[in-house]
Chain A
Amino acid sequence: MLLIEDLEVELAGKKLLKHIDLEIKPGETHILFGPNGSGKTSLLMTIMGYPQYKVTGGKIIFKGVDITHLPINERAELGIGMAYQRPPTIHGVKTHQMVKICARDRDVEVTELARRVNFQDFLDRDVNVGFSGGEIKRSELLQLMAQDPDLMLFDEPESGVDIENIALVGQTIARLLQKECTPTDIKSMLQVKRERTKMGLIITHTGHILEYVNADKGQVLFDGVLSCSDNPRGILECISQMGYEECVRCQIASN
């Protein structure tokens, strides 16, 4: 479980996140909405542990461990992983090497994994060097597949992906988050669903991802404050009809 309590975060002296409370239970996936500059990426980077995002109040607890001040790699070891929107390029490190790095001690069939996101032709390319927007997304998913974390943070996974690949990306995320489950002879659908452990937090602008991933909850981040928590489709509908302006009113009302 991920539990965030009264979190306050600053970047370069500027307060970005205020009084954030958030709880993601095992098996749950949340969608994070919000206008540009509202602090969505900052929240993900803070959970991942980027040191420039300075926690000035509150705490983050993951699997019962207070990770508020843990370095990035220790969070990764605990089972947090992220699919970045704009990851850096790493010259001279091949994508297949990167997939192995993500897998750590586990044995992975790199080519087989890559085939699942239609990325086998990129394995000999340097990580992210010259990749298009959509290729970056698939590369990030491939790395997450190898890393297999328990909490996955997705920063706009569908942006820049062409129509041909959008379903692939959506379905891959659904599979990573155990949203595509089927009952077995021994276990009912309910049992299978209850035993899901993977957690997800997905930033989206367009909401396209909702067509593939059955998310449990939606959250709206507005001006550094989580202002709304509701059914994600309901939120998307509200935003598309009334825009984020309505969130301001909700926020005032809730105060």
Chain B
Amino acid sequence: MPNREQLRERALKAVNKPAALGADIDLAQFDLSPVERRPMDKEELLSLPPIEKQRLMMAGIDVTESERSGTYIQMDTSVVRCGTKQEGIEVIPIRQALEKYDWIWDYYWKLVAVDADKYTAAVELNLHDGYVIRALPGAKSVYPVQACLYIDKPNLQQNVHNIIIAEEDSELHIITGCSTSPHTTRGAHLGISEFFVKKNAKLSFTMIHNWAEDMVVRPRSVARVEEGGLFLNNYICMKPVRTLQLYPTTHLVGENAVARYYSIIVGSPGSEYDVGGRVHLKEVGTRAEIVARTISNGGKIIARGHLIGEVPDIKAHLECKGLILNGGIIHAIPELEGRVDGVEMSHEAAVGKIAAEEIAYLMSRGLSEDEATATIVRGFLSVDIPGLPPQLKAEIDRAVEQSDKTVM
């Protein structure tokens, strides 16, 4: 372990460093101690109580594993299930990878700075686990790989570090769900994710958050996309949370690399969501698109977006639309930063309400007022995401269907 000590030293210096955005959280209130759990075989996974299975399903996890090429499930601090069904796709717990493989050091903390803030520092100083998912050169995942970070123990602070690598010419699809068990409403989740999309590789990453009323959530993620690569980053959160702040950043470092972000947020009362996406376009021909749909149902949502065009002949667009349905706040902050001549960047932001004439139109086709409203809301939240496999499209549609219950 060449530089673990140095990382530790840097982390120690940052343990009290507040983050640039989001409420400052006193981490001392949470419990860090590891929770030992046995690995689960498939039978055990299938025989979980229905209510727990439901929580997993809502986070996009298929317990039958039938249409998944690999699975990683971490409960609290322990990995309970980890494996892959497809050759060329690897799923390894990160602690195991750090012990066994030298190559991991080319990736670990290479994109996210260990001393970025107190949360990155906390993860390095008390790493519970996390996943390494890698598609070998040329490998194409037939089905998505699923990963789940589950919190069962009340008041736990879960520290995870994930590394995702799509090697040259590979195609990798991941669905990752985060959830708490039905009896746990309070806790913290700190998660580092580093994405490496190599030459001409394609990576889609769909994250569904299903937290609870008193959860503190601070993900930190950065991606690096090489020449001709595609990074598709989808984020869905329709459940309450105490405070959530994330601002995933992508660096497009090779010609014609593409990043696309799609987020769907439904904000519940008492919840605060500070979400965004940032893309640096650093090479000619790179393109980026950030699309956000937010609904406030009494919660507070800050929807950020930041596109930085560093070279000519890049194209970037940001679209941020919000509906305030039952009180709350939506604060859209779209930023475009062109640093040279010859960039092409645009944005479109809107915060409003459902148009009465759309409701009336649907009512004249026979829908009741409530049905018409639900139809419009579902339409608003359903964005077409090109390049997403059907299983993942189905998971997003399922989550959006669920939104009816949250919104109405």
A residues bordering B, Cβ < 8 Å? 48-51, 71-73, 75-77, 81-82, 84, 87-88, 90-93, 98, 101-102, 104, 126, 143, 147
Report Cα–Cα, A92/B361, bound state, in Å: 15
B364: contacting residue among A82, A90, A92, A126, CB under 8 A: A82
Name which residue of chain A comes closest to B377, CB basis: A92
- The reply to whether A143 and B365 form a contact with Cβ atoms under 8 Å apart is yes
- The reply to whether B375 and A101 form a contact with Cβ atoms under 8 Å apart is yes
B84 on interface, CB distance cutoff 8 Å: no
- 29 A-B residue pairs with Cβ-Cβ distance under 8 Å, sorted by A, are A49-B364, A71-B369, A73-B367, A73-B369, A75-B364, A76-B363, A76-B364, A77-B366, A81-B365, A82-B364, A84-B361, A87-B361, A88-B357, A90-B358, A90-B362, A90-B379, A91-B379, A91-B380, A92-B378, A92-B383, A93-B376, A93-B378, A93-B379, A98-B365, A101-B367, A101-B375, A102-B366, A104-B366, A147-B366
A92: contacting residue among B362, B369, B372, B380, CB under 8 A: B380
Interface centre among B357, B367, B379 (most CB of A within 10 A): B379
B382 on interface, CB distance cutoff 8 Å: yes
Interface residues of A: mostly helix, strand, loop or mixed? mixed
B residues bordering A, Cβ < 8 Å? 355, 357-358, 360-369, 372, 375-376, 378-383
Chain A residues, Cβ within 8 Å of B380: 91-92
Chain A residues, Cβ within 8 Å of B358: 88, 90
CB distance from B370 to the nearest CB of A (A): 10
Report Cα–Cα, A48/B361, bound state, in Å: 10
Report Cα–Cα, A147/B380, bound state, in Å: 24
Interface residues of B: mostly helix, strand, loop or mixed? helix
Report Cα–Cα, A91/B375, bound state, in Å: 10
- The reply to whether A73 and B363 form a contact with Cβ atoms under 8 Å apart is yes
Report Cα–Cα, A90/B363, bound state, in Å: 13
Name which residue of chain A comes closest to B293, CB basis: A92
Report Cα–Cα, A91/B377, bound state, in Å: 9
Chain A residues, Cβ within 8 Å of B368: 73
Name which residue of chain A comes closest to B321, CB basis: A91
Chain B residues, Cβ within 8 Å of A81: 364-365
Report Cα–Cα, A76/B367, bound state, in Å: 9
B361: contacting residue among A75, A90, A126, CB under 8 A: A90
Report Cα–Cα, A73/B364, bound state, in Å: 5
Chain A residues, Cβ within 8 Å of B367: 73, 101
Report Cα–Cα, A9/B322, bound state, in Å: 36
- The reply to whether B375 and A93 form a contact with Cβ atoms under 8 Å apart is yes
Q: A71-B369, A102-B366 are in contact. Are A88 and B375 (CB under 8 A)?
A: no
CB distance from A101 to the nearest CB of B (A): 5
Report Cα–Cα, A177/B375, bound state, in Å: 29
CB distance from B365 to the nearest CB of A (A): 5
- The reply to whether B360 and A50 form a contact with Cβ atoms under 8 Å apart is yes
Chain A residues, Cβ within 8 Å of B382: 92
Chain A residues, Cβ within 8 Å of B365: 76, 81, 98, 101-102, 143, 147
- The reply to whether B363 and A72 form a contact with Cβ atoms under 8 Å apart is yes
Report Cα–Cα, A127/B366, bound state, in Å: 16
CB distance from A48 to the nearest CB of B (A): 6
Q: Given contacts A76-B365, A101-B366, A102-B366, could you give 16 more A-B pairs where the C-beta distance is less than 8 Å?
A: A50-B360, A73-B367, A73-B369, A75-B364, A76-B366, A87-B361, A88-B361, A90-B362, A90-B379, A91-B379, A91-B380, A92-B379, A93-B378, A93-B379, A98-B365, A102-B365
